[in-house]
């Protein structure tokens, strides 16, 4: 398999011949992509063309992999010193006059750490983006520190990473890994990747996989034990580093990078909800982050890359759409994502309010923010919105279906029109959002997250809120079902269940069965009660961002919502008693 449109050349170095592919304009900054184990440069075949729109992109097969030749003998032919020689030979061939931007995944990242921290490459590397592959030196010190001062937490971290490293021990056994890779493991690997790592099949891995994997076992044997035993003490990065950590990595624990700042003076952290093979499963996100990082380093300001918000590592540059963003919880959520550096689409039926949210979002830290005026219950308008967002801004990474209205009144006071209105907005609005934007997420096949704002009323019955509670119970169940359906595609679904939150909802809620004067009185009174409770929407927004980061399913927010949630599970009878009480209005 060759990369479409790539120009290939051979670079000779240290007794091997490396197969090097180039895309994009050589006049642009050079980005060199280094693949991992067991892989070949084709692991980058989704990321490389995206980067080639802006950069001169270079990929090479590591010695003994793909169409590069293998050292003879294999033993001792894969040391980090030799791999550094290879990198320098490639860099000199493709970018003799300008330092290059390095990007490494897995073992490509392990070796790139060596390149980025040894003296002889100083001045040749402009930046380094590392994914799923630590420096063996940093790893060695990480282990030593935990062995020397073994607190229970540190021992837990050691055991956790130790368990994740099972394959490293296996690769140290002689001959067996080679036999396995050239036999059944090599044959079934593509299926295993698809099943357990959610790596899309088509055209990957390359047919050289069994040989790549057999040769690549020497990467481990030639380096791991020696380096972990005697890690270098001067392994400081001499270029800015962007660390991208997939939180669902089965082979590497996030904790490995806890002390990285001490080795890297200019470190930008990014995290994403994905498994190990992110060059295959998240090419859009990687290309966006690499582009942003390389561009900022070229512009001389690597430290300006990330926003300062609490979750900037996770949401920086992502596209987030929030409905009902003109007020209350929706507005606070848009601001929280903006603070984390996300691009925000603020949707509301109130045009002015949406515009204000978008404007403020830009001031707070969103690199871009747009306002869209749409009634979420209007199917056609939502379809148009989804089309527009996809063509103009891209596929949404996080969707927050939050728009909702309040409706109070007994079952027999609630008219069919009242029912229709509340279900149209609170339930159908969520259905339209999930259906249209969720579809785009699944078609893109690169994960995402959907948050639906339900309510504590979803599980707490009340004789005063039959229609509202029904709409929210439906949203809760819809979220649970959708979560199950989308689990295999890396798309999370969360139902947020706030209790009493101090927003405008009380002053716009409809009270069925009373005249307009009485309705106004009740609106005022409930606004006063919610005001006294005074739970800020910002706390709900914080819970929403946290839920996305953690991939939580159902999140009751506010103490009363949490209490009712526990009661609904353990003492539902007591909750049914409370449901009979007269509301305090």
The residues, ordered by sequence, that sit 6+ positions from 470 with a Cβ below 8 Å of its Cβ are: 423
DSSP string, 500-567: S--STHHHH-EETTS-HHHHHHHHHHHHHHHHHH---HHHHHHHHHHHHHHT-SEEEESHHHHHHHHH
Q: Is 460 in the site for ligand NAD (CB under 6 A)?
A: no
Q: 466-505: which residues touch ligand NAD (CB under 6 A)?
A: 498, 500-501, 503-505
- Where does this chain touch ligand NAD (CB under 6 A) — which range of 14-22, 113-121, 344-352, 512-520? 344-352
Q: In what order do the strands lie in the sheet with 267-272?
A: 7-13, 16-23, 56-60, 30-34, 100-105, 125-131, 241-246, 267-272
Q: How far is the CB of 327 from ligand NAD (least distance, A)?
A: 3
Q: How far is the CB of 322 from ligand NAD (least distance, A)?
A: 10
Nearer to ligand NAD, 161 or 506 (CB): 506
Question: Residue 110 corresponds to which tokens in the numbers above?
Answer: 């392990």
Of 246, 283, 330, 448, the one binding ligand NAD by CB under 6 A: 330
Q: How far is the CB of 425 from ligand NAD (least distance, A)?
A: 4
Tally of CA atoms within 13 A in the half-sphere of 422 that contains its CB: 28
The whole-angstrom separation of Cα 145 and Cα 256 is 12
Question: Residue 18 corresponds to which tokens in the numbers above?
Answer: 């490396």
Of the candidates 55, 65, 63, the residue with the CA atom closest to the CA atom of residue 86: 63
Nearer to ligand NAD, 217 or 346 (CB): 346
Of 329, 358, 371, 482, the one binding ligand NAD by CB under 6 A: 329
Query: From the DSSP assignment, how many helices (H) and strands (E) are in the chain?
Result: 23, 17
Which residue is associated with the tokens 């515009």?
Answer: 355
What DSSP character marks residue 427? I
Of 455, 469, 494, 526, the one binding ligand NAD by CB under 6 A: 455
The whole-angstrom separation of Cα 286 and Cα 272 is 10
Q: Is 376 in the site for ligand NAD (CB under 6 A)?
A: yes
Nearer to ligand NAD, 288 or 399 (CB): 399
Of 17, 350, 480, 552, the one binding ligand NAD by CB under 6 A: 350
Interaction pattern, residues 110-149, with ligand NAD; x per rule: CB under 6 A: ----------------------------------------
Question: Residue 397 corresponds to which tokens in the numbers above?
Answer: 């990474």
Which residues are marked as active site? 468
Q: How far is the CB of 451 from ligand NAD (least distance, A)?
A: 11
Q: 533-562: which residues touch ligand NAD (CB under 6 A)?
A: 537
Of 39, 348, 372, 397, the one binding ligand NAD by CB under 6 A: 348
Q: 381-440: which residues touch ligand NAD (CB under 6 A)?
A: 402-405, 425, 429
- Where does this chain touch ligand NAD (CB under 6 A) — which range of 75-83, 267-275, 319-327, 511-519? 319-327
- Where does this chain touch ligand NAD (CB under 6 A) — which range of 205-213, 290-298, 327-335, 410-418? 327-335
Of 40, 157, 211, 453, the one binding ligand NAD by CB under 6 A: 453
What DSSP character marks residue 115? H
Q: How far is the CB of 330 from ligand NAD (least distance, A)?
A: 5
Which residue is associated with the tokens 């706030």?
Answer: 498
Q: How far is the CB of 493 from ligand NAD (least distance, A)?
A: 16
Nearer to ligand NAD, 250 or 578 (CB): 578
Of the candidates 452, 460, 363, the residue with the CA atom closest to the CA atom of residue 403: 452
Q: How far is the CB of 363 from ligand NAD (least distance, A)?
A: 19
The whole-angstrom separation of Cα 200 and Cα 356 is 41
Nearer to ligand NAD, 94 or 557 (CB): 557
Backbone angles phi, psi at 484, to 5 degrees: -65, -40
- Where does this chain touch ligand NAD (CB under 6 A) — which range of 61-69, 155-163, 298-306, 371-379? 371-379
As a whole number of Å, the end-to-end CA separation of the chain is 71
CB 250 within 8 A of CB 164: yes
- Where does this chain touch ligand NAD (CB under 6 A) — which range of 1-9, 33-41, 88-96, 321-329? 321-329
Of 508, 566, 578, 583, the one binding ligand NAD by CB under 6 A: 508
CB 348 within 8 A of CB 324: yes
Q: How far is the CB of 534 from ligand NAD (least distance, A)?
A: 11
Angle (CA) 297 101 32, round 5°: 155
The whole-angstrom separation of Cα 30 and Cα 231 is 30
Interaction pattern, residues 186-225, with ligand NAD; x per rule: CB under 6 A: ----------------------------------------
- Where does this chain touch ligand NAD (CB under 6 A) — which range of 93-101, 124-132, 269-277, 342-350? 342-350
Of 327, 470, 479, 526, the one binding ligand NAD by CB under 6 A: 327
The residues, ordered by sequence, that sit 6+ positions from 212 with a Cβ below 8 Å of its Cβ are: 37, 38, 39, 40, 64, 65, 66, 206
- Peptide bond between residue 38 and the one before it cis (omega within 30 degrees of 0): yes
Q: How far is the CB of 545 from ligand NAD (least distance, A)?
A: 16
Q: How many residues touch ligand NAD (CB under 6 A)?
A: 30
The whole-angstrom separation of Cα 269 and Cα 248 is 16
CB 58 within 8 A of CB 101: no
Q: How far is the CB of 522 from ligand NAD (least distance, A)?
A: 15
The whole-angstrom separation of Cα 372 and Cα 323 is 9
Q: Is 326 in the site for ligand NAD (CB under 6 A)?
A: yes
Binding site for ligand NAD (CB under 6 A): 323-324, 326-330, 348-350, 353, 375-377, 402-405, 425, 429, 453, 455, 498, 500-501, 503-505, 508, 537
């Amino acid at each position: 398999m060759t990369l479409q449109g790539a120009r290939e050349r051979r670079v000779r170095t240290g007794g091997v011949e490396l197969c090097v592919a180039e895309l994009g304009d050589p006049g642009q900054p050079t980005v060199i992509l280094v693949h991992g184990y067991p892989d070949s440069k084709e692991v980058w075949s989704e990321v490389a063309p995206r980067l080639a729109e802006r950069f001169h992109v270079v990929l090479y097969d590591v010695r003994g992999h793909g169409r590069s030749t293998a050292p003879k003998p294999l033993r001792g032919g894969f040391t980090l010193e030799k791999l550094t020689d290879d990198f320098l030979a490639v860099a000199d061939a493709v970018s003799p006059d300008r330092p290059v931007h390095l990007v490494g995944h897995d073992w490509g990242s392990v070796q790139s750490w060596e390149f980025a921290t040894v003296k002889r490459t100083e001045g040749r590397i402009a930046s380094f983006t590392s994914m799923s592959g630590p420096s063996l030196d940093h790893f060695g010190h990480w282990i030593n520190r935990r062995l020397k001062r073994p607190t229970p937490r540190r021992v837990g971290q050691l055991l956790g990473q130790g368990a994740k490293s099972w394959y490293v021990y296996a690769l140290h056994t002689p001959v067996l890994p080679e036999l396995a890779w050239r036999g059944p493991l090599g044959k079934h690997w593509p299926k295993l990747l698809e099943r357990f790592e959610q790596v899309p099949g088509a055209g990957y891995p390359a047919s050289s996989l069994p040989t790549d994997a057999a040769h690549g076992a020497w990467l481990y044997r030639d380096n791991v034990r020696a380096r972990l035993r005697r890690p270098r003490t001067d392994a400081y990065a001499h270029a800015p580093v962007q660390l991208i950590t997939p939180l669902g990595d089965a082979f590497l624990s996030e904790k490995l990078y806890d002390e990285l700042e001490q080795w890297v003076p200019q470190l930008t952290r990014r995290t994403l909800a994905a498994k190990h093979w992110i060059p295959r499963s998240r090419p859009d996100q990687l290309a966006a982050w690499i582009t942003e990082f390389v561009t900022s380093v070229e512009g001389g300001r690597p430290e300006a890359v990330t926003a300062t918000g609490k979750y900037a590592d996770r949401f920086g540059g992502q596209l987030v759409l929030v409905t009902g963003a003109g007020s209350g919880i929706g507005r606070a959520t848009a601001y929280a994502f903006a603070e984390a550096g996300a691009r925000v689409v603020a949707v509301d039926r109130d045009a002015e309010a949406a515009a204000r949210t978008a404007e403020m979002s830009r001031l707070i830290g969103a690199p871009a923010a747009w306002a869209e005026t749409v009634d979420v219950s209007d199917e056609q308008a939502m379809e148009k919105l989804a089309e527009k967002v996809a063509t103009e801004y891209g596929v949404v990474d996080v969707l927050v279906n939050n728009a909702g209205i309040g409706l109070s009144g007994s079952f027999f006071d609630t008219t069919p029109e009242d029912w229709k209105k509340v279900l149209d907005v609170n339930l159908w609005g969520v259905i339209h959002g999930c259906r249209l934007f969720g579809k785009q997420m699944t078609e893109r096949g690169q994960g995402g997250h959907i948050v639906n704002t339900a309510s504590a009323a979803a599980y707490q019955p009340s004789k005063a809120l039959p229609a509202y509670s029904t709409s929210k119970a439906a949203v809760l169940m819809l979220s649970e079902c959708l979560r199950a359906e989308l689990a295999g595609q890396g798309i999370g679904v969360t139902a947020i269940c706030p209790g009493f939150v101090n927003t405008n909802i009380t002053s716009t809620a409809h009270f069925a069965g009373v005249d307009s004067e009485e309705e106004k009185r009740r609106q005022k009174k409930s606004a006063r009660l919610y005001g006294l409770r005074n739970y800020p929407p910002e706390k709900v927004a914080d819970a929403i961002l946290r839920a996305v980061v953690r991939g939580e399913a159902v999140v009751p927010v506010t103490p009363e919502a949490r209490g009712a949630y526990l009661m609904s599970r353990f003492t539902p009878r007591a909750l049914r008693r409370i449901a009979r009480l007269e509301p305090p209005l």
